[in-house]
């Protein structure tokens, strides 16, 4: 593609979205036809996100840095979406992009979260979402890799901890059920995911406090609750079990019980039974079962059982009960 562009090829439209928090002001500038100020606002670093055309944009930037001079007639159409409604933007990215190969559903969701990063960080207190090039070892609660949160949302939509099924037909059916939703339903799902991400962050505070590394046989809270397997199992179980308002209430009650249990736990204790859980995972038959798959399956089933019991059962006992 780079050689084609250098030779003068015309490119498809590149689509950007303006930051949600700036949308109202930007629309006002459009209505007033105040184009100089509009251009100035849109060219501020972080003012827009790339929805479609990331690779093309990087190639254009590389060519410019190399000193390539573009022909005057070699233009590109730039579409900038100024959208105040979160639901509309979710629908635009997930559903309307679905027919545009080769963008996979996973890629679409990663694009969505790059656009919503600042929105989530403003909504959930002390939340920090870090990009791949910023990623280091997680050392505190409420700090997550952006791609892991995006994958957790993907599992939430699919109601399964497996975002890439071995059965291609099953994968296609799962994704089609998501793509058939309208913008209202997608918006409601995102709002519920955001709600449970807030609850996850509250649990994270206490898990990181209690599991400070004092127990050699258990992982630290920062390592365990920031683990992709745990996040995927948690959010997929919430979505799968929470199929009705009554069931969502049971989830909320169970999480409230769990949070209270953690808040009263002493530092260096094991209220979640992570020592037992680690032993169970280490005992998985590695020749028969993929450890990651087995771990996600165990956690997903155990979380749903905990929600069903509304937190009345000890979660450490559920690990043992649900182990195969």
Residue 97: pLDDT over 70: no
Alpha helices in 101-220 (DSSP H): 105-123, 146-158, 168-179, 183-210
Q: How high is the pLDDT of residue 309?
A: 95
* DSSP calls for 188-256: HHHHHHHHHHHHHHHHHHHHHHH-SS--TTS--HHHHHT-HHHHHHHHHHHHHH--SHHHHHHHHHHHH
Per-domain residue ranges of the chain = 1-84, 86-322
Is 186 in a helix, a strand, or coil?
helix
Mean pLDDT, range 63-73, rounded to an integer: 87
Mean pLDDT of the chain: 85
The pLDDT tens digits of the residues spanning 268-280 come to: 999 999 999 999 9
The pLDDT tens digits of the residues spanning 114-168 come to: 777 888 898 999 999 987 666 667 889 999 998 899 899 989 988 999 886 555 5
Residue 107: pLDDT over 70: no
């Amino acid at each position: 593609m780079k050689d084609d562009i250098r030779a003068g090829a015309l490119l498809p439209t590149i689509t950007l979205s303006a930051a949600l928090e700036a949308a109202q002001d930007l629309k006002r500038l459009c209505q007033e036809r105040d184009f100089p100020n509009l251009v100035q606002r849109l060219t501020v670093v972080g003012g827009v996100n790339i929805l479609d055309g990331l690779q093309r944009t990087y190639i254009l930037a590389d060519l410019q840095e190399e000193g390539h001079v573009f022909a005057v007639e070699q233009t590109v159409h730039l579409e900038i979406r100024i959208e105040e409604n979160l639901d509309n933007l979710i629908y635009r990215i997930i559903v309307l992009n679905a027919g545009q190969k080769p963008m996979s559903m996973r890629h679409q969701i990663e694009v969505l979260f790059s656009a919503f990063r600042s929105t989530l960080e403003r909504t959930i207190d002390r939340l920090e979402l870090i990009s791949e090039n910023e990623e280091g070892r997680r050392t505190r609660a409420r700090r997550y890799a952006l791609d892991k949160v995006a994958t957790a949302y993907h599992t939430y939509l699919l109601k399964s901890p497996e975002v890439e099924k071995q059965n291609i037909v099953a994968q296609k059916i799962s994704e089609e059920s998501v793509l058939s939703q309208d913008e209202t339903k997608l918006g409601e799902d995102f709002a519920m995911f955001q709600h449970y991400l807030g609850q996850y962050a509250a649990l994270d505070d206490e898990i990181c406090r209690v599991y400070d590394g004092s127990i050699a046989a258990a992982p630290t809270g920062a390592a365990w609750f920031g683990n992709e397997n745990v996040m995927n199992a948690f959010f997929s179980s919430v979505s799968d079990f929470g199929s009705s308002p009554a069931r969502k209430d049971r989830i909320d009650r169970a999480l409230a019980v769990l949070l209270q249990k953690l808040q009263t736990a002493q530092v260096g204790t094991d209220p979640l039974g992570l020592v037992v859980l680690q032993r169970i995972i280490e005992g998985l038959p590695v020749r028969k079962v993929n450890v990651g798959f087995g771990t996600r399956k165990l956690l997903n089933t155990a979380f749903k059982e905990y929600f069903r019991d509304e937190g009345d059962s000890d979660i450490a006992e559920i690990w043992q009960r649900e182990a195969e």
